[in-house]
């Protein structure tokens, strides 16, 4: 029986994939499998994965016929996975030796639906530890209790899918798949759904994931139209949270986070292509009008002057029927 399935999408990461695969080899165990999803790479990544299929114990290579993006690639991996437990890694990140064995042992000991972990962010030669914004470590609790308060960073703001491990029952219940086709912010509706609908989770301080930040090909570094998928992602968060029995308590957090992300993108609008910048302003205005207006007003009023002013300006923009739809 496969104990752990590790899902790793790859797309044009020939520079970094060898480090990723070496770290997986240092985490291999006879009952672990590694689902390596080639999302239609056009560089040397496919050849690197072919070698990994021979050299990495438990490796399974799955290939897309056309590029689908990270969310779709992770879904492909989930559909192929056979493990009792599941986790993710991105094709340009890496792991400490033996990390998965330690994480799995801790999760089995706790017996919860999922665990979340801290990670090390790597930007060029700089290293910094980023922690789950949740104070209680090693304590099993209902995930809903980690969503609030609205005005502070909480576990739903730490959305990295690879910073944790998940029991298969979550996949069987439909909680682990991502929205197909999302090119960015795909983990936002995913983490909100986990925290609203799973029964138990815990946070661990175990370090072992190394997240490579500032990769030139990363969408966080590219100002093209794919970045605007964050609006579709957060619309999903708002829509699903609004249907929750505890929507009155949870919506202020969802709306405030959405507003903060809109403001963040507007503050850096100069990095977008001109046509995309115009679309960002128009889509942001439409998104603000779709939100529950009383909750939106409270969220904007609670923010600092700079962010609130930015949001009020875009909120006043007229919205065409085409954009609003």
CATH number at residue 13: 3.90.550.10
What is the count of structural domains for the chain?
Answer: 2
In percent, the amount of the chain with pLDDT more than 70 equals 96
Domain termination site, one of 220, 252, 279:
220
Residue 325 has pLDDT above 50, yes or no: no
pLDDT greater than 80 at residue 322: no
pLDDT of residue 319: 83
pLDDT category, 221, cuts 50, 70, 90?
Answer: very low
Q: Is the pLDDT of residue 314 over 70?
A: yes
Whether 243 and 147 share a structural domain: no
Angle at 236 between CA 233 and CA 239, to 5 degrees: 155
Residue 218 has pLDDT above 60, yes or no: no
pLDDT at position 115, please? 98
Please state the rounded mean pLDDT for residues 8-15. 97
Which residue among 163, 185, 220 closes a domain?
220
Q: What is the pLDDT of residues 58-111, one digit of tens each?
A: 999 999 999 999 999 999 999 999 999 999 999 999 999 999 999 999 999 999
Task: Please name which of 35, 39, 76 lies closest in space to residue 180, comparing C-alpha atoms.
Answer: 76
**Is a pLDDT exceeding 80 seen at residue 220?**
no
Structural domain range at position 17: 4-220
Is 60 exceeded by the pLDDT of residue 39?
yes
Positive or negative: CA dihedral 312, 314, 320, 323: negative
pLDDT of residue 223: 59
Where among 220, 244, 268 does a domain terminate?
220
| Residue 191 confidence (pLDDT) | 98
**Kind and range of the H or E element at 29?**
none
């Amino acid at each position: 029986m496969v104990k752990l399935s590790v899902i790793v999408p790859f797309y044009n990461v020939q520079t970094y994939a060898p480090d990723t695969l070496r770290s997986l080899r240092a985490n291999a165990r006879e009952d672990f499998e590694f689902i390596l999803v080639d999302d239609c790479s056009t560089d040397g990544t496919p050849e690197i994965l072919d070698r990994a299929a021979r050299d990495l114990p438990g490796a399974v290579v799955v290939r897309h016929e056309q590029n689908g993006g990270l969310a779709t690639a992770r879904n492909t991996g989930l559909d192929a996975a056979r493990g009792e437990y599941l986790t993710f890694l991105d094709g340009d990140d890496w792991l400490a030796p033996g990390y998965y064995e330690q994480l799995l042992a801790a999760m089995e000991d706790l017996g919860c639906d999922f665990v979340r972990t801290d990670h090390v962010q790597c930007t060029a030669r700089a290293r910094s530890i980023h922690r789950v914004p949740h104070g209680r470590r090693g304590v099993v609790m209902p995930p809903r209790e980690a969503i609030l308060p609205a005005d502070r960073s909480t576990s739903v703001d730490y959305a990295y899918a690879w910073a944790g491990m998940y029991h298969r029952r979550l996949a069987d219940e439909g909680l682990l798949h991502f929205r197909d086709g999302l090119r960015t912010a795909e983990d936002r509706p995913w983490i909100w759904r986990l925290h609203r609908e799973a029964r138990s989770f815990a946070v661990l301080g175990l370090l072992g994931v190394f997240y490579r930040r500032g990769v030139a090909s990363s969408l966080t570094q590219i100002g093209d139209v794919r970045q605007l998928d964050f609006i579709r992602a957060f619309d999903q968060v708002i829509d699903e949270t609004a249907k929750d029995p505890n929507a009155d308590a949870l919506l202020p957090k969802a709306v405030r986070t959405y507003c903060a992300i809109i403001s963040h993108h507007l503050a850096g609008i100069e990095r977008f292509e001109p046509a995309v910048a115009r679309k960002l302003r128009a889509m942001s205005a439409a998104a603000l009008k779709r939100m529950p207006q009383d909750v939106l007003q409270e969220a904007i009023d609670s923010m600092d002057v700079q962010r609130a002013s930015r949001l009020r300006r875009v909120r006043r923009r007229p919205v065409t029927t085409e954009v609003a739809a």
